[in-house]
Amino acid sequence: MGIGTNQDKLVQVAVVGQIAPQEFEYGWTAPYLISHTGSPLIVPGTGGITYNVRVGDRIAGLVGDHIEPAVSARNPDPRANGGFNILSCVGNEATVVSGDAKGATGVVIGTHGGIEHVMIDFPDADLAKMVIGDRIQVRAWGVGLRVDDFPDVRCTGLAPDLFARWVTETRDGKLVVPVAKMAPAAIMGSGLGRNNVARGDYDITLFDPAMVEEYGLDDLRFGDFVAILDADASYGRHYFAGAVSVGIVVHGDSYVAGHGPGVTGLLTSRQGEILLVFDPKANIADLLGLR
């Protein structure tokens, strides 16, 4: 018998977006970004169909900035895109509803704040059939998820069926949560300061080699479940000693100061109701057999 939740009370709705293009947000007259060392760079960034990067792949070494794996989608209407980002939960099924790949199914793997994209993993054969602008409908289910007997654990953007496969045990009055990596709140960057965690992500900065080595962050993978230590994300991301936040790695590293691999939040406990266990296979690709 699994861990009890309120999943039978949650409403399932359809939300839709379309495959977004690659963009150079720095302007067409000056397409450079400036790295944390002061170097100007032109590299691929957010958006589009990323054919050779999917969940389960390593982040290190990619020549790109904030690379989003597989498919990046958004709704061109800002209000509708708000619904698309907030209601699409990690683990939800997504179906292509237009174009040559119509009928292909994938899995929502997270959301990226600022650019306001929903990232969706699809098999390679389906990616090859897609074009920018294809429409994708998500069977959105998970907003409002609560875990029975753990009132301090807050869930955000997490599909109930993914939760049931990922978190299967309690121990000593705590929820046992497998993670592939842990990171201290001290190295968290972009995404701090918002008054909610209902959409978007926040970044693990990897500019301190000693920290990267200490926490083994050089082999982070897209789709890894990662714990942020001493971080509370109940109503906004901030430092709080003893708290734990757990999320999923949804975009790649960055050359820009204050940025790095992005983590979409899934669980948080301010008072210590989460017990972390290390599992190198705690990745959505391994958990759902996506690769």
DSSP state of 44: -
CATH topology of domain 153-288: tm1086 (SG structure) fold (2.102.30)
> What is the band of 41 on the pLDDT scale with cuts at 50, 70, 90?
confident
Torsion angle defined by CA atoms of residues 249, 214, 176 and 107, in that order, rounded to the nearest 10 degrees = 10
Angle at 28 (CA atoms; ends 132, 42), nearest 5 degrees: 80
At residue 268, φ and ψ (nearest 5 deg) are: -150, 145
The more confident residue out of 29 and 215 is: 215
Report pLDDT for 180: 98
CB 180 within 8 A of CB 226: yes
The string of pLDDT tens digits covering residues 144-172 is 999 999 999 999 999 999 999 999 999 99
> What is the band of 124 on the pLDDT scale with cuts at 50, 70, 90?
very high
Enumerate the domain spans of the chain.
Answer: 10-140, 153-288
Neighbour tally for 4: CB within 10 Å: 11
- pLDDT (mean) for 235-241: 93
For residue 276, give both structure tokens.
């972390």
- pLDDT (mean) for 185-193: 92
> What is the band of 31 on the pLDDT scale with cuts at 50, 70, 90?
confident
Report pLDDT for 34: 85
Identify the CATH class of 10-140. Answer: mainly beta
